[in-house]
Amino acid sequence: MTTSRDRVLAKVRAALADVPPGAPDADPPVTRAYRTAHTEATGPALLALLAENLADYRAMVHRTTEDQLPSLLAEILRTHGSRTLAVPTDLPSKWLAAAHEVTRLPDSPTVTADQLNGVDSTLTGCALAIAETGTIVLDAGPAQGRRLLTLVPDHHICVIRADQVVASLPQALPRLDPTRPQTWISGPSATSDIELERVEGVHGPRCLEVVVVSG
Amino acid sequence: MSRTFLGMPPFPEAAAVSTQNAQLRANLTHATHTIRDKRARAVTELDDWAQLRQAGQEIKDHTLRHLDHYLLQAEKAVTAAGGTVHWAADAAEANRIVADLVRATGESEVVKVKSMATQEIGLNEALAAEGITAYETDLAELIVQLGDDLPSHILVPAIHRNRSEIRDIFRDAMGRWGRPAPDGLTDSPAELAEAARLHLREKFLRAKVAVSGANFIVAETGTLVVLESEGNGRMCLTLPETLISVVGIEKLVPSWRDLEVFLQLLPRSSTAERMNPYTTLWTGTTAGDGPSNFHLVLLDNGRTDTLADEVGRQALRCIRCSACLNVCPVYERAGGHAYGSPYPGPIGAILTPQLRGLQSEVDASLPYASSLCGACYEVCPVAIDIPEVLVQLRERVADQAPGHRLERAAMKSAGWLLDHPAAYSAALRTASRARGLLPRRLPLPGPAKAWSDSRDLPTLPEHPFRDWWNSRPNGEDGPKHDDGKTGKDSAAR
Ligand code: SF4
């Protein structure tokens, strides 16, 4: 019996009668004359570029040091009025050392979207960040938890270490594992569907706060 | 239930109606000009745009030349990662597969991420016929669905609606589909977006099945990629237990690395952003995170016929950015509905008749829904030569039905364009601006090629004749633009 699979593949092959037979790698390689980055910035200049592009997308950006991180996080939660906080199970315990007032909801397979819907904030790390585009990449790796953790609550705080920042997309992809589920975030949720007027926050977190840690 | 594009009148008739709608035209003009200006700025930011565009074109062409190989590679990778791959030769088969998969879950509701492929196959209507309700979750698609309307733009499907129309739609229809609009809803975009958030959140939280398309499938790894802004995509792709993605076979790219090209080209061409707010990438299923069942439906539905045409196959490079719509003077005047398919504008004029064939009057009229000004080619991030394909399709229309019904329908389109001097002169103006970027030779196919190959195109004048005429010192006395009523549009341009 001919399946649709067979039929579609046969039609593809028939359609390509003009293409000389041969393996795909017999084709000349793709011309990749584009840049591997659009900035030469490194170190502090690269972090500044990231912060600038994140802010351009109306994410709130904070800069701090390893030592000051716990007090800054406590401060952010207090300012936001957060009483409950969803956290990945492997979040470095030191991060929340100063946040005494918040009740934590640790991620686990039994935590439901409904429960997260009632949580004020969520706090995670990330896999890497791309300075040129102001993008944070999460891949459910260390200190990130499941994808829904950074999706359902309305306020996401994301901590980026200086060594996780790359300049560009071409530099980011080789550092990522395609087999992991990934979420790339550039600023908070936004829509321009009504008369092209930008409105922040339709379904994802309406408020994204990013903490860049160096030193 | 929602309307469909089936049974639409051919382009000139549909355009004749839509051009009468002043509201629609004002909304469209404002929107397309805003997006195109923003896009131009976003593109200028990258000094290697031409190189990215070339790489994008080459990657897609290479993939299409070896599509059988990459399809099999993708099938293997998705299956190895825990997904199930289905093949659908046409719309009916794809709809059947999706309906059966939904039924097998025992559910009668699905949430949907905006997807051109599922619009193309009329999935929502097919599911409705089986007693399954599909909820659109993209804000613009929601507006279209609640308004029992049709999408009119690839990127902003409700571009033809203004805020007060949207408020009325929400007030009247939300209650019929779920949580009603809040009392006293005003027409401020922020309030409208909030109403959509509340209306849809209850659906996200209870949804067990989601249906999506994909912007890309990486053949090497089996990874699917969806770009979006609102977070409704993440909701649909993450929360439900079962995810069904319907994806055209042309959406493949060979390698993970190729994403570095397309994730630069697409957001800037589409929403004029360095990066869209959210991109979700997934490979099969991941234990404990996201849907536990993943189905990929690979859709042909006319794509292999398009592939068989050596000139027309370049339309399959399209990454659906919508940049060509926003620069098209004909689209701007006629609106998206006039094209009779979910793919409007220049890309619709070449893709729809290739996917569906040229047998109907609607499809035979589409290759004429263009002034061949070349602006679409200039902005296309994968360098699709839309005018070249249009010319070749016109030849096919003329060949298959000389003096017949189809040719007459087609000529009506051309006539429509010539009857609408504002659209036509705008086309010429765009051409003047772009004159340094136009090819020097006319890309004619078939027997005409020998003629065009040996002749250079005349250089386009800096100003179209009509502009020059009207701007002469004594232009006031000269023959006026025959459509005085559209003078405002022209001035704003
Ligand atoms: S044809 Fe080109 S410009 Fe038009 S939507 Fe497709 S990729 Fe974009």
How do residues B301-350 score in pLDDT, each as one tens digit? 999 999 999 999 999 999 999 999 999 988 888 888 888 888 989 999 99
Q: Which of B255, B287, B305 is the last residue of a domain?
A: B305
CB atoms B139 and A193 under 8 Å: yes
Q: Provide the CATH number for the domain around residue B157.
A: 3.40.50.10420
Q: What residue of B is the nearest CA neighbor of A17? A: B308
The answer to whether residue B167 scores a pLDDT higher than 50 is: yes
- Torsion, CA B125, CA B126, CA B127, CA B130, rounded to 10: 120
Residues B216 and B102 occupy one common structural domain: yes
Rounded Cα–Cα distance for residues B214 and B245 (Å)? 7
Beta-carbon pairs below 8 A across chains A and B: 234
Residues B414 and B285 occupy one common structural domain: no
Residue B5 lies in a domain: no
The reply to whether ligand 1 has any atom less than 6 angstroms from the CB of B219 is no
A51/A195: higher pLDDT: A51
**For ligand 1, what atom is nearest to the CA of residue B351?**
1
The answer to whether residue B388 scores a pLDDT higher than 70 is: yes
Q: What residue of A is the nearest CA neighbor of B35? A: A196
Q: Which domain holds residue B435?
A: 405-466
Residues B299 and B415 occupy one common structural domain: no
The separation between CA B35 and the C-alpha centre of its own chain, rounded to angstroms, equals: 15
Residue B52 lies in a domain: no
Residue B256 lies in a domain: yes
The reply to whether ligand 1 has any atom less than 6 angstroms from the CB of B320 is yes
Which pLDDT band, with edges at 50, 70 and 90, does B425 fall under?
low
Residue B409 lies in a domain: yes
At residue B4, the pLDDT reads 66
Which pLDDT band, with edges at 50, 70 and 90, does B489 fall under?
very low
Residue B32 lies in a domain: no
What is the set of domains in chain A, with CATH numbers? 43-187+201-213 (3.40.50.10420)
Tell me which residue of B150, B230, B225, B155 sits closest to B192, measured CA to CA: B230
Find the CB nearest A202 among B58, B70, B196: B196
Residue B25 lies in a domain: no
- Residue A67 distance to chain B (closest CA, Å): 31
Residues B257 and B124 occupy one common structural domain: yes
Residue B144 lies in a domain: yes
Segment holding A161, helix H or strand E: strand A155-161
Distance B319 CA to ligand 1 centre (A): 6
Q: Which of B247, B276, B305 is the last residue of a domain?
A: B305
Query: What percent of chain A shows pLDDT beyond 90?
Result: 85
The reply to whether ligand 1 has any atom less than 6 angstroms from the CB of B323 is yes
Mean pLDDT of B31-38: 85
Mean pLDDT of B152-164: 84
CB contact at 8 A, B239 and B273: no
The reply to whether ligand 1 has any atom less than 6 angstroms from the CB of B324 is yes
Number of domains in chain B: 2
Mean pLDDT of A149-178: 97
Q: Structure pTM? A: 0.87
Mean pLDDT of B26-52: 87
B190 in reach of chain A (CB within 8 A): yes
At residue B473, the pLDDT reads 59
Residue B74 lies in a domain: yes
Residues B299 and B418 occupy one common structural domain: no
Which pLDDT band, with edges at 50, 70 and 90, does B486 fall under?
very low
At residue A2, the pLDDT reads 83
Query: Which parts of B313-442 fold into alpha helices (H)?
Result: 323-327, 329-334, 345-356, 361-365, 375-379, 386-400, 405-419, 421-433
Segment holding A209, helix H or strand E: strand A207-213
Rounded Cα–Cα distance for residues B413 and B419 (Å)? 10
ipTM: 0.96
Residue corresponding to tokens 């382009």: B11
Find the CB nearest B205 among A30, A117, A204: A117
The answer to whether residue B227 scores a pLDDT higher than 50 is: yes
Q: Which of B305, B324, B351 is the last residue of a domain?
A: B305
B-chain residues near A197 (CB < 8 A): 189
**For ligand 1, what atom is nearest to the CA of residue B346?**
4
B-chain residues near A9 (CB < 8 A): 68, 71-72
A199 in reach of chain B (CB within 8 A): yes
Q: pLDDT digits over B401-421, tens only?
A: 656 666 666 677 767 666 676
